[in-house]
Amino acid sequence: MAQWHNLEESMKRMSDRKISLTLNGREISETVEPRLHLADFLRHTLGATGTHLGCEHGVCGACTVNVDGEAIRSCLMFAVQADGKNIITIEGISNTDGTLHPIQEAFRHHHGLQCGFCTSGMIITLDAFLKKHPNPTEVEIRSAISGNICRCTGYQSIVAAALEAAGNLKKQEV
């Protein structure tokens, strides 16, 4: 029995892969099992627990992180696929002086969260969306977050926050 266990362990070690990536501006190198998904890697290996896991099969959007500028469901991506990528999670979204990002500030202002379980995924999704669509309509915002499920807010306050954030982000650019 112990032999089987040792064999299993050494086979597992043989298939492990070394990956390097940037997480919220910090360079990281780790050895990971090929089957480990990115969300578990972020949460369990790196301690970035602001990324939440709901469905774990690509439906709820709670696990959304930014990978090289795109909002990605981290439960559908393996950690090994993040090799060489630049990843931003909710822990890395605030301003460098520690103040809230304009989207976070707008969520606070409009009460865009209740339990907060969906919020990190919502904010990461909206951040990627607003960078590409700085003048969104309400319909476009609703479409952008249509893959992010919120069980609490009814979405009204989230949409209001997103519209306000879009306006404030534009003002920042001027």
Separation in Å, CA 129 to CA 14, 40, 83, 136, 155: 40, 24, 24, 9, 17
Would you count residue 55 as binding ligand FES (CB under 6 A)?
A: yes
Smallest distance from ligand FES to CB 37, Å: 9
Query: x/- site string to ligand FES, residues 89 to 128, per CB under 6 A?
Result: ------------------------xxxxxxx---------
Q: Which residues of 74-95 are buried (b: 16+ CB within 10 A; e: fewer)?
A: bbebbbbebeebebbbbbbbee
- Gap between the Cα atoms of 71 and 22, Å rounded: 16
Max Cα separation, the chain? Answer: 68
Smallest distance from ligand FES to CB 171, Å: 27
Smallest distance from ligand FES to CB 60, Å: 3
- Residues between 144 and 163 with contacts to ligand FES, criterion CB under 6 A: 150-153
Nearer to ligand FES (CB atom), residue 21 or residue 161: 161
The one among 58, 69, 84, 154 contacting ligand FES by CB under 6 A: 58
- Gap between the Cα atoms of 169 and 131, Å rounded: 9
Nearest to 46 by CA among 65, 70, 69: 65
Smallest distance from ligand FES to CB 21, Å: 19
Residue 92 corresponds to which tokens in the numbers above? 């890395």
Smallest distance from ligand FES to CB 76, Å: 7
Interacting residue ranges for ligand FES, rule: CB under 6 A: 53-56, 58-63, 73, 75, 113-119, 150-153
